[in-house]
Structure 1
Amino acid sequence: MIKLRLKRFGKKRAASYRIVAMNSRDRRDGRPLEELGYYNPMTDETNLRVEPLVKRLKEGAQPTDTVRRILEKANIFEQVRA
Structure 2
Amino acid sequence: MNPPPHLAEVVEQLHASFPAGLREDDEDYASLLVILSDLLSERNLGEVMEAAFSLDQHMVCNRTAAALSVRKPSVGRWSG
Q: Which range, TM-score by smaller chain? A: 0.3 to 0.5
Identify, as 1 or 2, the structure richer in helix. Answer: 2
TM-score, normalised to structure 2's length?
0.33
Identify, as 1 or 2, the structure richer in strand. Answer: 1
